[in-house]
Amino acid sequence: MGVKALSGGSSSNPLSGIYFTGLLENDASTNGNGVYSSEGATNEVSSTVELAHERANLAGSSGFDSTYSDSGFGFKSDGTASFNLTQYAAGAGGSFVIGAGNGGNYQLTLYVKAAALSGTGVFLNPMATVNAANNIPFTAQVSPGELITLGGTGLYSGQLLVASALPFPATLGGVQVTVSWTGANGAAASAAMPLYYVSPTAIAAIVPYNVPTDGSFLSFQVNNNGSQSNMVQSYSGTTQPGVFTLPPGGVGNGAILHADFTVVSASSPAKIGETVQIFLTGLGPVNSTVAAGAAGPTSPPALVTNSVDVGVAGGQGRVSYQGLAPQLAGLYQLNVTIPAGVTTGSSVVLEISTVDADNVQAVIPIAK
């Protein structure tokens, strides 16, 4: 396999936009992962920001959704790059990337640029259904209770319209979003999605709790005042964690509060031993009957039914609460104690791990 060499001697990143990805690896290097394969997509946001999803298969394990942000390839002017025991070469125009392992890492990686998609009327872009917190590419699974963003054109005829009260309505500005699926008995099922906001190019909606979690497809469709969009599909899953960030977008400081509800920031970092509140989406089913789009109950609160682990710079945070954020809609909350011995700094990496997904993206400022 090969790619046509870059020309022009540019040192800028030749990659931009959405790429389909595939990886096959046998990492026999020291502390390597062994046999590993994945497929997914990346969004090359800039030369220093890559948002990536891999549906991974470790040897002897079932499929697992891995989502993360990275600093980008760091291509040289000849279109080559090398890091993490892998050599990469970008093709002319940035349409393809080939990666090959070295140093005991036997690997083949392929990036293929996705074609731009557009449509007339009410058009949902199949590549623009993403977790509303982390903006990871569309190949990632979608979970019950998750706040997602659907992108396209002609989705709403006015300006941005935000729901003004709880619970979030199923119709906002004459716009509705329906999710449909095939049940375990083979029967078709569907549900209206509560809407947080609508705009001409994006809609934020909450996935109902009764959708399947078995990897089957969920189909989404928009109705803009009687005009139907095309349908787009996503994989279903039990969870898809994504931490909200400040500012929004999925990169940078997480939406994290001190116990007094002030924001954790570089000027007001979390301290070792302190318990902070992390706000996110995609933690899946909860242990009480609560409607999607309604405020999280307070007494008792709605707890997630699957365990959540929080890594802080490689250490393990103690999770004392994992459930819906009380009195808020579309939000989950984790109360996490910062463990002793972790690295301090302005951008300490958080890792949120669940039964079938993992996210390494948002950061938290930590001081001693």
pLDDT at residue 14, as a whole number:
87
Distance in angstroms (rounded) separating the CA atoms of residues 331 and 294: 10
Q: Which of 238, 232, 328, 236 is nearest to 280 (CA)?
A: 328
Domains of the chain (ranges, CATH numbers): 17-113 (no CATH), 123-235 (2.60.40.10), 242-367 (2.60.40)
pLDDT at residue 58, as a whole number:
66
Q: What is the pTM of this model?
A: 0.94
Angle at CA of residue 213, ends 189 and 354, nearest 5° = 155
- Hey, which residues does 151 pair with through a beta bridge? 202
Distance in angstroms (rounded) separating the CA atoms of residues 355 and 307: 7
What does the pLDDT profile of the chain (368 residues) look like in tens digits? 888 887 765 556 789 999 999 999 887 877 777 788 899 999 999 888 999 999 987 666 677 999 999 888 888 888 899 887 789 999 988 999 999 988 788 899 999 999 999 999 999 999 999 999 999 999 999 999 999 999 999 999 999 999 999 999 999 999 999 999 998 888 999 999 999 999 999 999 999 999 999 999 999 999 999 999 999 999 999 999 999 999 999 999 999 999 999 999 999 999 999 999 999 999 999 999 899 999 999 999 999 999 999 999 889 999 999 999 999 998 999 999 999 999 899 999 999 999 999 999 999 999 98
Q: Which of 137, 32, 150, 23 is nearest to 88 (CA)?
A: 23
Angle at CA of residue 60, ends 57 and 62, nearest 5° = 50
Distance in angstroms (rounded) separating the CA atoms of residues 323 and 319: 11
Distance in angstroms (rounded) separating the CA atoms of residues 182 and 184: 7
Distance in angstroms (rounded) separating the CA atoms of residues 107 and 120: 42
The amino acid present at 190, given as its one-letter code, is S
Q: Which of 282, 279, 248 is nearest to 264 (CA)?
A: 279
Neighbouring C-beta atoms of residue 20, cutoff 10 Å: 16
